Amino acid sequence: MAAFAAATLAPLPLLALGGLHGGPWLWAGLLYMGLLSLLLDQLLPLVDRGAAEGSEFPAADALLAILGLLALALPPLALLGATNPLLSLTEKAALVFTTGLWLGQIAHPTAHELIHRARRAQVRLGIAVYAWMLIGHHASSHRLVHHRHVATPADPASAPKGRGFWRYLPRAAWGGFRAGLRAENDLRRRSAHPGPHPYLLYALISATALTLAASLAGPAGIALWLLIAAHAQLQIHLSDYIQHYGLTRAVQPDGRPEPVTARHSWNSAHWFSAALLLNAPRHSDHHTHPARPYPALRLPEDAPRLPWPLPLAAAIALVPPLWHRLMKPHLARLDAGPPRPPA
């Protein structure tokens, strides 16, 4: 747990000091979220082992709560820094960009973990974090659509082989919104006491966020919040794109897709980015055991492995021709199946 806490919390003091004073603190935060994580992933060994079955992590939920509350506090603080007259335009741009990186790389895995928890307070905090980033519907589309239809054409978040990220993005964004809405409406029709519509809650939280932005910095504050949220959302969609790209579930004789297995998600064994992303790169185990807490996630032997850490894979995916060329041999090996034993 110490590794998860250190990796996820370390950038925040740098961002806070950078917003106040700019200069080295701000650049240190940017380097931490960018180059340092890539460097440490190359220097530190790959980690395959997972926790023993039944292991408990009492500090895991406490860290999620801390990170969730900090995710709510960070955008307003970034707005105050972006309007600080002591900072240059370049420093303000770096602050906004790094804030978006932290939200996309750390707040997103935090909210993702929270919406899978059994306790209502934790789920509500996860929803608040997503809606604060103006993507509250992800709490519905991820749980009700993505986990059910992953690696099939019915899932807007699963990219078929050959589709570049920029072609995938509109369907993932708008399709996820609509699919989540349909799923929530279906649940409400089957419920005797549906209560307020979740999409109304998402809209209210997002409206509160933009109202706060306007009160802090006027129209510029709204524009900056929208920019930070768009950056965070881009990373959320990049994560989904990479972790399921080109992987499909076979159709069974009854017309239904086969059960989800470890082979339907891409994984990474790089140590530092796994700590930074709360073990999100161990994605196969999450799909087969959605309630398993992040410190206990494992790397199944038959799970597809990315040759790069997840943040680097995201950067590559932004250039579709390069992504397709580098992924082609890895998909070909999966299509060929495991090597046959000698006769």
Please give the average per-residue pLDDT across 165-187, as a whole number. Answer: 96
Q: Does residue 190 carry a pLDDT above 60?
A: yes
- What amino acid is encoded at 117 in this protein? R
Domain total of the chain: 1
Question: Which residues share a beta bridge with 257?
Answer: 251
Per-residue pLDDT band for 269 (boundaries 50, 70, 90) equals: confident
User: CA 15, CA 103: separation in Å to the nearest integer?
Assistant: 12
Whole-Å CA distances, 267 to 7, 139, 306, 308: 19, 22, 6, 10
- Residue 341 domain flag: no
Domain contains 206:
yes
Question: Which DSSP string corresponds to 235-281?
Answer: HHHHHHHHHHTT--PPBPTTSSBPPP-GGGS-B---HHHHHHTTTTT
Per the domain annotation, does 343 fall within a domain? no
Q: Determine, yes or no, domain membership for 133.
A: yes
Q: Report pLDDT digits (tens) over 271-313.
A: 888 899 999 999 999 999 998 899 999 888 889 999 899 999 9
Buried b (16+ CB within 10 A) or exposed e, 297-313: bbbbeebbebebbbbbb
The pLDDT-based confidence of 101 (bands split at 50, 70, 90) is: very high
Residue 340 lies in a domain: no
Tell me the pLDDT band of 46, cut-offs 50, 70 and 90. low
State pTM to two decimals. Answer: 0.92
112 closest CA partner among 15, 269, 232? 232
Indicate the pLDDT class of residue 341, thresholds 50, 70 and 90.
very low
Cα separation, 66 vs 249, in Å, equals 37
Q: Is residue 90 part of a domain?
A: yes
Q: Is residue 342 part of a domain?
A: no
Across 140-148, average pLDDT: 96
Q: What is the average pLDDT value for the chain, to the nearest integer? A: 91
Alpha-carbon distance of 22 to 91, in angstroms, equals 6
Contact yes or no for 33/259 (Cβ under 8 A)? no
Instruction: Determine the Cα–Cα distance for residues 60 and 50; give it in Å rounded to an integer.
Output: 15
| Predicted local distance difference test score (pLDDT) of residue 193 | 82
- Distance (Å, rounded) from C-alpha 1 to C-alpha 62? 10
pLDDT band at 338 (very low <50, low <70, confident <90, very high): low
pLDDT at 262 > cutoff 80: yes
Supply the angle between the helices 58-82 and 108-115 in degrees, to the nearest 10.
140
**Window from 51-60, 148-157, 184-193 with minimum mean pLDDT:** 51-60
- Angstrom CA distances, 44 to 29, 136, 274, 282, stand at 20, 35, 12, 17
Give the residue from 231, 309, 300, 308 showing the smallest Cα distance to 265. 300
The answer as to whether 323 is a domain residue is: yes
- Domain boundaries, position 211: 2-49+58-335
User: Is 236's pLDDT higher than 60?
Assistant: yes
Q: Give the per-residue pLDDT at 34.
A: 81
3-class secondary-structure state, position 81: helix
pLDDT of residue 37: 79
The residue type found at 19 is: G
